[in-house]
Amino acid sequence: MLKKTGTIAALGAMSGTSLDGVDAAMVHTDGHVIFGFGETAYRPYSASEAAMLKAALGQWPNDGLADTAELIETVHAQVLSRFDGADVVGFHGQTLAHDPANARTHQCGDGQVLADVLNVPVVWDFRSADMTLGGQGAPLAPFYHFALAKWMKAVAPIAFLNLGGVGNLTWIDPTKPAPEAAGALLAFDTGPANAPINDLMLQRHGQPFDDDGAIAARGTVDDQAIADFLTHSYFNRMPPKSLDRDAFADLSLAASQLNTADAAATLTAAVAISVSQAMSFCPTAPTKILVTGGGRKNPTLMKMLSAGVEMPVVPVEDVGLDGDMLEAQAFAYLAVRVARGLPTSCEGTTGVRAAVSGGTISRPTL
């Protein structure tokens, strides 16, 4: 039985749309306050595993994905079984498709399988309840970002910018008493992040990233491709709003006509310009932007981001956090909130009609 009060040792896992591997991390929390961080682990996908996942993108639960689900569950079990002492596990699964306009999302993987393998309660299916109540189902990390702002003892608005496969921004007023309080949070996807760059590099060079942004740094941004990109209707929509990994296929198509350096520069500039555009939706300008996810390791992208906004743009390591593990930690934290019936999303983060606790709890049956 999970304790109903006090601190819980929660273990979270995340496999993002960049398809690089599974992150896992421990957090000690009561579902409100972060008391400490524990061990972390990472299990990369092999080239063949990543190819299987990429082939499954855009598919839904009835599309014959038993082998893909087994891969996701097996890899997660491998990395999560390295940990001892977890009271609960937060399992996000692998997002294969996300269609908020039609209230559909697909995170592949069965939490009951993991509960039985790990012999620990597993919280999963975090997004469905939110979408049932009219929410976008994403992003879900903002409630954790709010807790981190409190942990940092922030006293003025700040923003977290996650640059994984897709970019998403969380604006936080840390003076509010709780994440679901009016005006505490605004969160939304900004646009593409690493996914189009990674896809380009894999296709052209056989490696799934632009190491240190070195190739983009040698290229010239195609201004017409960027201008066309900015005509996408998504940028005029008011948040909360969310995106599928491949929502900007026209941008990738335009980049495919360019040499590799110019294509990488153009795709990288699109990320930065998306973030710059997003800042206009913030209730007030944040005092700083804390960058998490793989994009923070790309100096070319970080330079472009800093040039496009008026406040400091720094990696989360500058405040003592681990940018590789923030999302895994988030699902550990959210698992505790679900277990205790606390909200995990609200109108300001997903557009849901009422603050909702989303997630299924699977307990070991063996």
Per-residue pLDDT reduced to its tens digit, 17-62: 888 999 999 999 999 999 999 999 999 999 999 999 999 999 999 8
Same domain, 225 and 200: yes
Residues in Cβ contact with 46 at an 8 Å cutoff, skipping those fewer than 6 apart: none
Q: Label residue 330 by pLDDT band (50, 70, 90).
A: very high
Does 270 map to a domain? yes
- Closest by alpha carbon to 42, among 364, 300, 294? 294
Q: Are 30 and 8 in contact (CB under 8 A)?
A: yes
| Residues 152 and 271 both lie in one domain | yes
| 297 and 168, same domain (yes or no) | yes
Report which secondary-structure segment, H or E, holds 158. strand 158-163
Inside any domain, residue 350: no
For residues 283 and 149, membership in a common domain is answered with yes
Q: Which of 14-18, 215-219, 294-298 has the lowest mean pLDDT?
A: 14-18
**pLDDT at residue 175, as a whole number:** 98
Q: Is the model's pLDDT at 289 over the cut of 70?
A: yes
Report the pLDDT averaged over residues 195-205. Answer: 94
Please tell me whether residues 206 and 300 are part of one structural domain: yes
Contact status, residue 316 vs residue 290, Cβ threshold 8 Å: yes
Q: Are residues 128 and 190 in the same domain?
A: no
pLDDT exceeds cutoff 70 at 1: no
| Strand (E) or helix (H) holding 361 | strand 360-362
What number is the average pLDDT over the span 6-18?
94
Q: Confidence band (pLDDT; 50, 70, 90) for 349? A: very high
E strands, 193-307, in order: 289-292
Are 131 and 214 part of one and the same domain? no
Residue 229: phi, psi to the nearest 5? -55, -40
In a domain, 31, yes or no: yes
- Tell whether 188 is covered by a domain: yes
Domain count, the chain: 2
Q: Is the pLDDT of residue 2 over 90?
A: no
CB distance 306 to 313 below 8 Å: yes
pLDDT for 243 equals 87
Residue 244 belongs to domain spanning: 142-319
Q: Are residues 111 and 19 in the same domain?
A: yes
Q: Give percent of the chain above pLDDT 90.
A: 91
Pair 86, 227 in one domain: no
Q: Is-contact 106 63, C-beta < 8 A? A: no
Nearest to 334, CA basis, from 125, 169, 100: 125
CA distances from 346 to 85, 133, 134, 187, 355 (A): 31, 10, 11, 10, 4
| pLDDT at residue 313, rounded to an integer | 98
Does 311 reside within a domain? yes
Kindly report the CATH number assigned to the domain that includes residue 332: 3.30.420.40
* CA distances to 19, 170, 201, 318, 321 from 260, in Å: 21, 32, 8, 32, 33
| Residues 84-124: tens digit of each pLDDT | 999 999 999 999 999 988 999 999 999 999 999 999 999 99
* Measured distance CA(149)–CA(193) in Å, rounded: 23
pLDDT at 244: 83
51 and 184 assigned to the same domain: no
**Region label for 191, one of left (φ > 0), alpha (ψ between -120 and 50) or beta (otherwise):** left
